[in-house]
Amino acid sequence: MSEIEQMETLLEEAKAFELAVNNKIISTKQTIQKNLDNIAQSYGYDNIDSCAKYIGYPNKYQEQSLALLIWTAKVWEAAESYLGNLRPKEILNIDESRIMSGLPRLSF
């Protein structure tokens, strides 16, 4: 194998590795989003984003919606901080259940 072919192979492997890392990050974020949506649904909302429509004016859901959205921001801050501190090889071995258990808990 020529030196150029070796370099091309290394480049292809690096691209594949980068793609795998990015896919794992996307998958992990989707798992987190699904968890947020499931919890919001347990309180009667369509998903976590639907809480936003209740915070702009006085109503019986305003306080709860605001608490859910503040908690959501804390969850994403923690998740992004955690993911941002991992090396690419560590990202590929993420245990999503471990991440989920380490995220902030909802409390009213």
- Whether residue 85 is contained in a domain is answered as yes
- Structural domain of residue 72, as residue ranges? 44-108
HSE at residue 83, side-chain half, CA atoms within 13 A, is 20
pLDDT, tens only, 54-69: 999 999 999 999 999 9
- Whether residue 6 is contained in a domain is answered as no
Averaged pLDDT of the chain = 95
CA 68 to chain CA centroid, Å, is 16
pTM (two decimals): 0.89
d(CA 82, CA 76): 10
Q: Which two tokens stand for residue 77?
A: 């801050």
- Whether residue 31 is contained in a domain is answered as no
Rounding to the nearest 10 degrees, give the CA dihedral for residues 102, 104, 106, 107.
Answer: 110
- How many independent structural domains does the chain possess? 1
- Whether residue 62 is contained in a domain is answered as yes
Q: What angle do CA 9, 13, 98 make, to 5 degrees?
A: 170
- Whether residue 29 is contained in a domain is answered as no
- Whether residue 94 is contained in a domain is answered as yes
Task: Say what the pLDDT of residue 1 is.
Answer: 83
